[in-house]
């Protein structure tokens, strides 16, 4: 069996999962602490998706840790297909939430009475972290899809 770096059960996949978890947690943290994100639907959507991404990535990080510690490759094609589809869905949702948040921040930035610069900067940073989460999630999905035909 060919081992693709970044596919489930490798140390690169563990790094990707931990990176996704940290970035999603950062986006969630910057969006929710001390600000009223619930006034805008796009912000609530970002919080919901990042809240879903954290347990998804932590669970798969535990699978990766198990495979890395036992030095066994992940060889279950149906489960790998489900993980690939789940990664793809999470990456699409993360992209949608990051894009909607960034566009709302861009609109709100024009009126400082609605969104003071410090708050808008926090929203924008949360959107940036969500974009980075999307990038890592998409790369995980593509690595797993690359491995799928070789099983």
Specify the 3-state DSSP secondary structure of 34.
coil
How distant, in Å, are the alpha carbons of 73, 122, 123, 149 from that of 32?
A: 38, 10, 9, 41
Residues of the chain with pLDDT under 50: none
Q: Residue 96: how many CA atoms within 13 Å on its side-chain side?
A: 11
Query: Could you report the per-residue pLDDT of 14-31, keeping only the tens digit for each?
Result: 999 999 999 999 999 999
Distance CA 23, CA 45 (A): 16
Q: Of 59, 49, 60, which Cα lies nearest the Cα of 23?
A: 49
Q: Do the beta carbons of residue 137 and residue 86 sit within 8 Å?
A: no
Which pLDDT score, from 0 to 100, does residue 2 have? 65
CA distances from 137 to 17, 64, 106, 114 (A): 8, 15, 25, 33
Handedness of CA 102, 106, 111, 117 (dihedral sign): positive
Question: By the 8 A CB rule, do 48 and 54 touch?
Answer: no
pLDDT for the residue numbered 73: 78
Q: What's the confidence (pLDDT) of residue 69?
A: 93
pTM recorded for the entire structure? 0.90
């Amino acid at each position: 069996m060919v081992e693709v770096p970044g596919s489930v059960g490798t140390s690169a996949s563990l790094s990707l999962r931990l990176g996704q978890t940290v970035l999603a947690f950062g986006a969630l943290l910057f969006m929710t602490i001390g600000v009223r994100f619930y006034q805008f639907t796009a912000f609530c959507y970002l919080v919901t998706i990042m809240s879903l991404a954290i347990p998804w990535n932590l669970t798969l990080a535990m699978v990766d840790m198990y495979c890395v510690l036992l030095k066994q490759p992940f060889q279950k094609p149906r489960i790998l297909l489900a993980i690939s589809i789940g990664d793809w869905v999470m990456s699409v949702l993360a992209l949608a939430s990051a894009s909607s948040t960034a566009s709302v921040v861009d609109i709100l930035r024009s009126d400082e009475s609605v969104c003071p610069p410090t708050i808008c900067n926090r929203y924008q940073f949360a959107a940036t972290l969500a974009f980075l989460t999307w990038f890592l999630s998409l790369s995980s999905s593509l690595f797993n899809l690359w491995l799928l035909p070789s099983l």
